[in-house]
A = this chain, B = another copy of it.
Amino acid sequence: MKYIEININCSAERYSGGIIIIPTRHRAALIRDFGKPLTIEEVPTPAPKDAEVLVKVISAGICHSDIHLWAGDYRPVGVPKTLPWILSHEITGVVVAKGDKVPETIKVGDRVLVYPWGFAEEDERTLSGYTQLARKRARLSIDIPGGLQEYLLVQHYRYIVNIDGLEDPQAVAPLACAGLTTYNAVKKIKPYVGPDEHVLVVGLGGLGTYAVQWIRALLPHANLLVADIRDEAIEFVSKLVKIDAAVNPVKEDPVKTITEITKGEGVKAVIDLVGLSQTIGTYLKTLTTLGVYAMVGLMSYEASIPVPHVIRNEIKIFGVYTGSLGDQHEVIKHARKGSINYVKAISKRFRFEEKEVNEAIKSVAEAKHLGRVIVVL
């Protein structure tokens, strides 16, 4: 492909003493058939209008939901709407052009994270800060094409979060989903956890990698327990933060072990990143009186809960879905303050080539890597 300097009819600007080169067409990784390898092909580069922003992609994270989209698992609920489709909702990039209503605080050349949980229409939820729960959602890779391509048109400048000051912009990408969702979950349990109380993270995959770090950052005086059926996953997070105790339910009775660890008290909060009927049914029982359960993982349609335990202990269960734009800004501020190590959370970086992109998909589908996987453009 030949790159030329073009006028794409918007405020592309010179910056850093150089010139922004925006091609009229760019490469994108496309789903042409569900479950078949992605193909990298050329697509037109759109010009941003009004409040839109054009971003040259730096990095695109691969999330489990991308695997489901790719496999066609969500066709029963109508997503994606069409083929071909472009995956990835964890995007960092550089602003290369912007519409005429984009404020001056957003500049060509800015390194940014794209908040992916946008909406098509403002409503009372978006106006109350629940941007991710809009009636008409416009989520990257789910409702609108994602960022596994060289240039991404962002619908509105409000979704642009400046990441200047973060040294590894590639590694920042998963903070838009894995990092954001776990932050939302930990914020929800935070008011309920006092000093020296116990918090349990169930499931130490991509999200767990961030969850344990948020707990250490936001609840430094809590005791951190983790549960996973893979010892290597426990080992992986143990290198990121201090774990007070770990449980492998394959090897031991988790309720019994946790009861012992907590001297009969039980845990005050659970972050369930798995969401199997088995995890929900089991770990709700480990909660003490006035405990809270954050349901994040979505691996089952139905789960059985122990009704008397929930009632007699006035337990609270919170559904957690991604996070708001307000949360997203806080996540980046935390990253800047060093609250979490977002670099070590990345276990593998793939290049934006057909073979590697498909390896990245396969890697997540088969849970080959701990931590989070990104494609670097």
Contacts and interface: CB of A to CB of B under 8 A. Distances in A.
A21 interface: no
A312 B308 contact: no
B319 A319 contact: no
A32 interface: no
B196 A333 contact: yes
Contacts of A44: none
B326 A319 contact: no
Interface stretch (A10-18, A127-135, A167-175): A127-135
Interface string A81-109: 00000000000000000000001010000
Among A195, A295, A330, find the residue whose CB has the most chain B CB atoms closer than 10 A. A195
B317 A307 contact: no
The count of identical subunits is 4
A43 interface: no
A135 to B, nearest CB: 8
A27 interface: no
Interface residues of A, number: 62
A321 interface: yes
A303 B302 contact: no
Given A133-B289, A191-B191, A221-B334, A318 B321 contact: no
B303 A305 contact: yes
Given A217-B220, A290-B133, A307 B302 contact: yes
Contact of A133 (B191, B281, B307, B313): B313
A195 B334 contact: yes
10 contacts: A105-B121, A127-B129, A130-B314, A221-B333, A221-B337, A275-B307, A295-B311, A304-B305, A313-B319, A315-B319
The 9 tightest CB contacts between A and B, nearest first, are: A195-B333, A317-B317, A310-B319, A196-B333, A128-B129, A311-B319, A129-B129, A315-B319, A195-B334
